[in-house]
A and B are shown apart, each in its own frame.
Chain A
Amino acid sequence: MNREFLARYATALSTLIIFVIFSIVINNFFNATNIFMLLRQMSMLTIIALGFILVMGSGGFDMSIGNSVGLISMIFALIFNHTGNIWFALVISMACGPIVGFINGVLTAYVGLPDFIATFSVGSMVYGLKMMLTKGNPIFFPNNMPAFFNFIGQGYVGPVPFPVIVMLIVLLLFIFITRKTVFGRRLYAIGGNIVASIYAGIDVKKYKVLAYLVLGFCVSIAAILLTSRLGSAQPLAGEDYLLDVIAVCFLSTTMFGNGEPTALGVFVGAFLISMLNNGLTMLNVQYYFQYITKGLVVVVAISLSILLGQKGKEKI
C-alpha cells in the first residue's frame, strides 16, 4: 500500500473499520433493521450534500441550506392546509429551493458578492421569513392528508425504506452527472481554475447559477422527505444539516478523486457521520461527546489525506 493509495482511500477504509468494530461491540448494530434505519437517517443529509458538491466543485459555498429546509416545509404545510390541494402545495414548496438557489447564484456569480456573505445573508432572510410565517410555531396536518404523502417519508418497499430508494436514485444520478456529463465536467473545471475556464470559453457565471439551482432542488427533495417523515412542518427542522453537509462534502474530497468532492465520497462520508451518531447513541455515549467525536473524525480524515497527498506527488 503506497501513500497515494492511502491518501485516496484512508477515509473509506476508516469507515469500514469503524463499521466492523461497531458490528462486533454493539448488540443489534449489524442487523437489517438497524442498517436500514441508519440509511434512512442519512438519506436527507446525503441528498443535500450531493447537490452541495456541485456548488463546492465549482468553487462556491452555500450557508443557506439549513434554513431553506424549514422554509420549504412551512410553505408546503401552509398551502396544503389552506387549499387542501397536495399537488399544488408540492409544486410551490419545491420551487422554493431552486428560487433561493437562483438568488444565491445571481448574487455570487453576476453581482460578485463573496459566496460566504451572499448565502449567509440569504440564509438569514430565509430564517426570518419562515419564522414570520407562523411566529415560529410548528404546523400540523389535518386528517385528510393523502396516504401517499406519508409513504414518501415513512413507507417501505419490501424491507427498504422509501427515502433510501430516493437517496440511491439521486446518488446514481449524481455519480453520472459528475463523471459523465459536460455540465459536471465544466463545473469542476471552474472550481479547479476559474481563470483558465473563462479562457477556455466556459460561461462561468451561467454554470455557477445552475449549480446553485440544482442544489436548491436537492434541498427541496430532502425537505419534503423530512416533512413527510415527521408528519408535521417544523420551522427549525434541518438546521443541523448545514454543518453535517459541510463535513460530509469535505470528507468526500478525500476519497476517490484528485481532491475534488465526489458523489460516491459523499455517500461514504454521510454513512460515516450517521454511523457515528447511530453507534455512539447505542453505546449510550452522551450527545455532547458525539459532537466531539464527529468533529475529531472530520479533522483527522482530512488532515491525513492532505499530509499523505502532499508527499505522494512527484514530478516525472
Chain B
Amino acid sequence: MVKSEEMIGNKNIESNESILITKGISKEFNGIYVLKDINFEIKKGEVHALVGENGAGKSTFIKILSGVHLPTKGVMYLNGSPVSFKNVKQSEEAGIRTVQQEINIVPFYNVYQSIFIGSEEVKKKLGIRYTDDRKMREMAKSVIEELGIDINVDAPSYSLSVLEKKIVEISRALVHQAKILIFDEPTTSLGAKERDKLFEIIKVLKGKGISILFVSHDIDEVMRISDRITVFRDGNKIGTFEKSNVTVKEIVSSMIGHELKNNNNQKRSPISNEIMIDVRNLSTEKLKNISFKIYKGEILGIAGVVGAGKTELAKAIYGLDKMKSGKIIFRNSEYIPSPQMAIDSGIAFVPEERRTQGLILNFPVSENITLAYLKRFSRLGIINNESEINITRHYINRLSIKTRDPRQPVNLLSGGNQQKVLIARWLSGNFYLGIFDEPTKGIDIKAKEDIYNLFVELAKQGRSILFLSSYLPELINLCDRILVMRNGEIVGEFRSEEENVASKIMSAMLGGGTLR
C-alpha cells in the first residue's frame, strides 16, 4: 500500500469532499475483461448504491476496493493519495471494510469477542500479554450503543439473528475507525422489520461521516436509502445518477441496455400441446405453492434474482429438497421426486456449481460422462471400458469439448468445457426433461453459444428444457415462456415475444411495484 499521512489534505484531486476515487480501473481474468475503465467516486458521508445485473461487475469492483483482487489497470485515490491494496488487510488498514452477504462467525465467541476477533486489545502484566476483556467489552458496548441498538455484548454469537451478526460486523468496522463501509447485498436474508432497522443504522453511520457503498438487487430499497446510484452493465459503468433526478424506469433501462428481443422462435416448429411435466401446488421449506406446466419441445425460462428460489425449485423437482405438499405429473404419470427416480424417469439436472455439485474433479472426462448412467455402460456390474470411451469420443466431437484425450482429468479443462462434460453426462442417457441451473455462468462466449444452440436442437427433438437464469438476455433470446420467481413464489409469466418484455420481467423480479 502506498499511502502517506502527510498527503491527506493535499488537495490535488478535483473534489475535496470525495473520499475515494477510482480512475480507469479495469480487471481481466484469463484474457476476458470483467471490468472496463471504471471512473468512480464516493463522497464523504454519502450512501452510494451500486446496481447492475448478475455479471455486471459489481462484485469484482468491490473486491478490488477491498483488496481481494488487484486491478489490471487503473488507479485508486483515497483522500487524494494514490493507493493500491495487495490484500484485504491493507484495505482494512486504510479504512475500507466490507459487510459480507453471508457472515462467518465463531459460534461460541460472544459478541465483544467476535467484534475484536484477530485484533484483541491486550494488556501486559509481569511481561505476559493478556487479552484485556474489560476494555474490549466497554468499547463494544459503546459502539453498539452509538448505533442505537440494544444487544447484550456477552451473548454467544450462535444466538444472534442475521441482522445482529451484521451489526457485529459493522461494530468491528467502527472500532477500527473505518471510513468506507461496503454492504454486499445486505438485505437478502432480512425480514421487513429488520431491513428497516438496518436502514436506521445506515443513517446513523452516515451521520458519523462514514461513506457507504451499498450493493443491491432491490431497486425499491436503493431508491429509499441512497443519495446517488451508479449502474454497471457488462463490466462498464453506465452512469451515476443523483437519486433526486432519476426514476426507477430510467435505472432499470440502463441496467438492461437496449430492449431485448426473442429471435429463436422462428427457428423452431410450434410447440406441441402435449404436456411433459405438470407441477401442481408444489411447496417446500423454501417454495410456496408453485404450479406450472412445461410442454413437449418447450424451453421454459425461470427468471429471478439470487435467492428468489430458482435453485430450490430445481432441487425440489429433482428430489434433493423435500416436498411438503403438492403433486408432480411427469409424462402422464405421478412422479415422486428423488435423484434415482428422476434419472430413471428421464429428468436431467445440471446444477449451478459445476465444480462442487457436478463434477468429480479428479476423475477423467470419460468417467464423469458416464457417472449418472453407468449401468448403461456395464453388464452385471462390470464396466465396459470400450463403450465408455466410445461414448466419450462421441460427445467430445459432438459438443466440441477441448480435451487432450478422453482420459484426461476433468479439472484440467476450462470452465466451458467442464460444463459441456456435465451436459454430455445427461445427453448420454437421453433425458426427456433437462433442468439447467445457470448453465452459462462463468464460461466463455463460444461455449455459451454452443450451449444455446444445443438447447434449441434438443427442443426440436421434442425434449423439454427448464432453463434457470438470472441473466435476462439469454432467457429472452432462448425461451418460449418465462416465469418470474421472487421469494419462493411465481410472480409472473411472460411470453418472450411480448413488447418490452425485459422491463416487465425485471420489474417483476425486483418487486418494483412502481413500474408498469
List of A residues within 8 angstroms of B367 by Cβ: 185, 189
Q: Verify A200–B372 contact, CB threshold 8 A.
A: yes
In the assembled complex, B425 has its CB within 8 A of some CB on chain A: yes
Q: Verify B414–A200 contact, CB threshold 8 A.
A: no
List of A residues within 8 angstroms of B413 by Cβ: 315-316
In the assembled complex, B375 has its CB within 8 A of some CB on chain A: yes
In the assembled complex, B214 has its CB within 8 A of some CB on chain A: no
User: Given known contacts A180-B385, A201-B342, A258-B409, is B360 in contact with A193 (CB within 8 Å)?
Assistant: yes
**Residue in A185, A188, A189, A199 whose CB lies within 8 Å of B320:** A199
Can you list, as one digit per residue, whether each of A164-204 has a CB less than 8 Å from chain B (1) or not (0)?
00000000000000001111011011001101111111110
Which residue of the partner chain A has the closest CB to B377? A182
Which one of B77-85, B160-168, B349-357, B475-483 contacts A?
A: B349-357
Q: Verify B361–A316 contact, CB threshold 8 A.
A: no
List of A residues within 8 angstroms of B364 by Cβ: 258
Tell me what chain B mostly uses at the interface: helix, strand, loop, or mixed.
Answer: mixed
Within 8 A of A (CB), among B381-429: 381-383, 385, 402-404, 409, 411-414, 425
In the assembled complex, A311 has its CB within 8 A of some CB on chain B: no
User: Given known contacts A183-B381, A200-B371, A200-B372, is B356 in contact with A316 (CB within 8 Å)?
Assistant: no
Within 8 A of B (CB), among A65-96: none
Q: Verify A316–B403 contact, CB threshold 8 A.
A: yes
**Minimum CB–CB distance for B83 against chain A, Å:** 32
In the assembled complex, A244 has its CB within 8 A of some CB on chain B: no
In the assembled complex, B362 has its CB within 8 A of some CB on chain A: yes
List of A residues within 8 angstroms of B359 by Cβ: 193, 196
When chains A and B are docked, how far (Å) is the Cα of A242 from the Cα of B403? 41
**Residue in A181, A183, A192 whose CB lies within 8 Å of B362:** A192
Which residue of the partner chain A has the closest CB to B364? A258
Q: Verify B404–A199 contact, CB threshold 8 A.
A: no
In the assembled complex, B139 has its CB within 8 A of some CB on chain A: no
When chains A and B are docked, how far (Å) is the Cα of A203 from the Cα of B319? 13
List of A residues within 8 angstroms of B238 by Cβ: none
List of A residues within 8 angstroms of B349 by Cβ: 199
In the assembled complex, B358 has its CB within 8 A of some CB on chain A: yes
List of A residues within 8 angstroms of B403 by Cβ: 316
**Residue in A181, A192, A199, A200 whose CB lies within 8 Å of B381:** A181
Which residue of the partner chain A has the closest CB to B384? A180
Q: Verify B361–A193 contact, CB threshold 8 A.
A: yes
List of B residues within 8 angstroms of A195 by Cβ: 356-357
When chains A and B are docked, how far (Å) is the Cα of A241 from the Cα of B385? 35
In the assembled complex, B374 has its CB within 8 A of some CB on chain A: yes
User: Given known contacts A196-B357, A199-B351, A199-B358, is B402 in contact with A316 (CB within 8 Å)?
Assistant: yes
Which residue of the partner chain B has the closest CB to A176? B382
When chains A and B are docked, how far (Å) is the Cα of A201 from the Cα of B349? 10
Within 8 A of A (CB), among B279-318: 318
Q: Verify B381–A259 contact, CB threshold 8 A.
A: no
**Residue in A185, A192, A260, A315 whose CB lies within 8 Å of B412:** A315
Q: Verify A201–B343 contact, CB threshold 8 A.
A: yes
When chains A and B are docked, how far (Å) is the Cα of A204 from the Cα of B127? 55
Task: Give how many B residues have a beta carbon under 8 Å from the other chain's beta carbons.
Answer: 36
Q: Size class of A's contact patch? A: 20 to 34
In the assembled complex, B378 has its CB within 8 A of some CB on chain A: yes
Max chain A CB contacts within 10 Å: which of B357, B371, B411, B425? B371
**Minimum CB–CB distance for B29 against chain A, Å:** 13
Max chain A CB contacts within 10 Å: which of B360, B361, B367, B372? B360
Max chain B CB contacts within 10 Å: which of A180, A186, A200? A200
List of A residues within 8 angstroms of B382 by Cβ: 180-182
Q: Verify B404–A316 contact, CB threshold 8 A.
A: yes
In the assembled complex, B363 has its CB within 8 A of some CB on chain A: yes
List of B residues within 8 angstroms of A199 by Cβ: 318, 320, 339, 349, 351, 357-358
Q: Verify B360–A196 contact, CB threshold 8 A.
A: yes
List of B residues within 8 angstroms of A259 by Cβ: 362
Q: Verify A182–B381 contact, CB threshold 8 A.
A: yes
List of A residues within 8 angstroms of B378 by Cβ: 181-182
**Residue in A181, A200, A202 whose CB lies within 8 Å of B383:** A181
When chains A and B are docked, how far (Å) is the Cα of A193 from the Cα of B351? 14
In the assembled complex, B340 has its CB within 8 A of some CB on chain A: yes
List of A residues within 8 angstroms of B343 by Cβ: 201
When chains A and B are docked, how far (Å) is the Cα of A141 from the Cα of B360? 51
List of B residues within 8 angstroms of A203 by Cβ: 340
Q: Verify B374–A185 contact, CB threshold 8 A.
A: yes
User: Given known contacts A180-B382, A185-B367, A186-B374, is B356 in contact with A196 (CB within 8 Å)?
Assistant: yes
Q: Verify A201–B339 contact, CB threshold 8 A.
A: yes
Q: Verify A198–B360 contact, CB threshold 8 A.
A: no
Which residue of the partner chain A has the closest CB to B408? A316
When chains A and B are docked, how far (Å) is the Cα of A163 from the Cα of B382? 28
User: Given known contacts A200-B425, A315-B412, is B383 in contact with A185 (CB within 8 Å)?
Assistant: yes
**Minimum CB–CB distance for A188 against chain B, Å:** 8
Which residue of the partner chain A has the closest CB to B342? A201
**Minimum CB–CB distance for A187 against chain B, Å:** 11
Q: Verify B414–A316 contact, CB threshold 8 A.
A: yes
Max chain B CB contacts within 10 Å: which of A189, A201, A203? A201
Which residue of the partner chain A has the closest CB to B359? A196
| A and B contact pairs by CB, cutoff 8 A, 7 listed | A183-B381, A188-B360, A189-B360, A193-B361, A196-B357, A199-B349, A313-B412
Q: Top 3 closest A-B pairs, CB basis?
A: A192-B360, A201-B339, A201-B343
A193-B361, A199-B357 given; 16 more Cβ-contact pairs under 8 Å? A180-B383, A181-B378, A181-B381, A181-B383, A185-B374, A186-B374, A189-B360, A192-B360, A192-B361, A192-B362, A199-B339, A200-B425, A201-B343, A258-B409, A313-B411, A316-B413
